[in-house]
Structure 1
Amino acid sequence: MDFKRIELIFLLTFLSLNIFLLYSYFGKADTLSYETAESANSVPFEEMKKDGIKFDEKKFSDEKLLVPYVKAKNENLLKQKVDSLPKDSGIQMEDDKRTLYRSLSEPLEIFPDDKKFDSKNIKNYAEKLDAYILNQGIFFGDEYTFFKYSATQNSIIYTQKAKGFRILDGTGRITFHLNGGNVIAYEQTYAGKIEVTGKSRNLISEKNAIEALYQNNELMQGSVISETPKLGYYQTLSLPKDGVGIYGPVWYVVFKNGNEEKIRLVNAIDGSIIKNNTKITTGETDSEQTNGSTKQEDIIELE
């Protein structure tokens, strides 16, 4: 008998069997991990539908962005600006030393007094305010962009930009106060000059932000989500002695519960719900905003 030939046949058979088993194992592992990932993404949305929560799943992106933390060095820049102006300039700092208030000597007409605010003309209103900001010397005005109209306070809100995203916690905001259709005064806060700090972080997706709200019982039965989440920044750490604020990325989510519009902030890195959002940019006072909610009429935005 040719033992070498038999030995070779056994060896080839053994190798073939091992290759087959390894292929089967890894193929099965790939299938299981794919199914698990798919289930993890689909189950919350299926449960939301069963709970009567209304939304268009196609509106929510799966894209996971890379976004860094940013820091803002304030150094009381607004106060420095005010102190350099003539005393009769009509601009003053509030008691917190960080909020500037200015009463306009000549009101700025946004729309006629005999008309009501019309959300269809919101771009025209924004264009008038943009021109005013740039031409009337509002400090650091080119760093702000139109955000929304607040009906309860009859004011128009701008937010400071930070590397392409909005600062949503009220530390970088201009609130234009209206009397009828005229701007009669404004309040301004300024976070400071924005710089990137550290490396970009992987963010959860828009879909993940919605799922996080549902899994944390923030979305009640019958809630309606008609807007896609917006990405912005929220102050996570303040170092007053150094005049530095650290800002992390958050998802800003608006949804309707009954006749009430609500706003929630979701940490865009770990998916946790930011509960202490009393300074969220809604135009409401802290006492009115302690539950992070606002009325439907407040959510009128340019975007």
Structure 2
Amino acid sequence: MDWSKIKTIFILTFLILDVYLLFQFMKIRDANKYEIITEASIEEKLEADEIRYKELPKVPIEDQYLSAKPKLFTKEDTAKLKGQTTLLKEPSLTLHVDLVKPIPINTKFEASELTPFIRDNVLYGDQYQFWKKDDKKNSIIYFQHYENMTLYENLSGMITFHIDDKNQIVSYEQTYLEDIEKITDKEEILKPLKALETLHQKGVLKPKSKITKVELGYSSLIQLAASQALAPTWRFVVDDNESLFVNALEGQIIQFNSDGELDVE
């Protein structure tokens, strides 16, 4: 047996293997480089899916969690209401009110129609903002706000006006959150474009959508009978119809169920 030849064959074999492995390594490295270089930006991805949006708002880069307590209404509260009758089992978290004189509204309702009544006749009326008119339920919804930021879909801070078959407001229910306080230090919030990216990656934001409104508010993170924790939340209105919500501190998508409670993704 010629050991010299065998030795040479082994050396050549290992050299060939080393060259092959080096070639594969360079190929993978170059591929990874290419992927990094060619990774599309979120703007490009949205454009590719024909998702349109106006200039995104410039907002404070920091916000914080809040706490709040549902108010218990008493007869002392109802005594302040003029031209209205109430049924109150004292104390109660919900105020049920009937109007002595119904308020006629236009078929094409504008929020400004109710502004004077809410301001002058509803408890804490200046702390609520119009949300929507629900034609299926013949109701008009207002949600409470804090520092001009809406408390989204919060059943403990809302007014529901009821409309009769003559297109008149005849009654309403009211809940109210009090003792709203900041409970954490300020933290950096997600930029609206990053929140949009989350919605897009999860498939919640559909191709050819148009973002018609973007705003920052609060959603209820924890709801207990005696208190709530509220988180800064991005709201994106799609095609003037659907609202999508993203926790502005933690980045989860928020979905509200029919009871106003939230699910996160």
Q: Same fold (TM over 0.5)?
A: yes
Note the residue ranges of structure 2 that are not aligned, 5 or more in a row.
Answer: 1-35
Q: Distance in 2 between matches of 1:141 and 1:238?
A: 23
Deviations along 1:176-232, one digit per CA (max 9) or x if unpaired, are 22234421111211122322222122111221221110011101233x223132211
Deviations along 1:227-253, one digit per CA (max 9) or x if unpaired, are 13221111112343xx22111111112
Contact 1:169 1:233 in 2 (8 A): no
Q: Distance in 1 between matches of 2:125 and 2:149?
A: 16
Contact 2:143 2:153 in 1 (8 A): no
Report the CA distance between 1:134 and its aligned residue.
Answer: 2.8
Residue aligning to 2:212:
227
- Superposed, 1:218-297 pairs within 5 Å as 218-222=204-208, 224-240=209-225, 243-256=226-239, 261-279=241-259
Q: 2:94 aligns with which of 92, 99, 121?
A: 99
Residue aligning to 2:52:
55
Report the CA distance between 1:271 and its aligned residue.
Answer: 1.5
Q: Distance in 2 between matches of 1:272 and 1:148?
A: 25
Tell me whether 1:214 sits opposite 2:200 in the alignment.
yes
Greater helix fraction, Structure 1 or Structure 2:
1
Distance 1:191-1:142 versus aligned 2 partners, 3 A rule: same
Distance 1:62-1:43 versus aligned 2 partners, 3 A rule: farther
Contact 1:117 1:181 in 2 (8 A): no
Comparing 262-271 with 178-187, greater Cα deviation is found at 178-187
TM-score by length of 1: 0.63
Contact 1:90 1:102 in 2 (8 A): yes
Letter in 2 for 1:44: I
Residue aligning to 1:175:
160
- Superposed, 1:1-303 pairs within 5 Å as 43-51=41-49, 53-56=50-53, 58-61=54-57, 63=59, 65-74=61-70, 76-79=71-74, 81=76, 90-92=85-87, 97-111=92-106, 116-117=107-108, 122=110, 126-136=111-121, 138-170=122-154, 171-179=156-164, 180-222=166-208, 224-240=209-225, 243-256=226-239, 261-279=241-259
Contact 2:215 2:234 in 1 (8 A): yes
Note the residue ranges of structure 1 that are not aligned, 5 or more in a row.
Answer: 1-35, 281-285, 293-303
Q: Distance in 2 between matches of 1:277 and 1:268?
A: 20
Letter in 2 for 1:110: I
Give the count of matched residue pairs: 226
Q: Distance in 2 between matches of 1:168 and 1:39?
A: 39
Identity, % of aligned positions: 25
Letter in 1 for 2:203: N
RMSD value, Cα: 3.5
Q: Distance in 2 between matches of 1:193 and 1:265?
A: 25
Deviations along 1:238-287, one digit per CA (max 9) or x if unpaired, are 343xx22111111112214xxx932221101121111344455xxxxx9x
Q: Distance in 2 between matches of 1:142 and 1:77?
A: 19
Letter in 1 for 2:238: F
Residue aligning to 2:22:
none
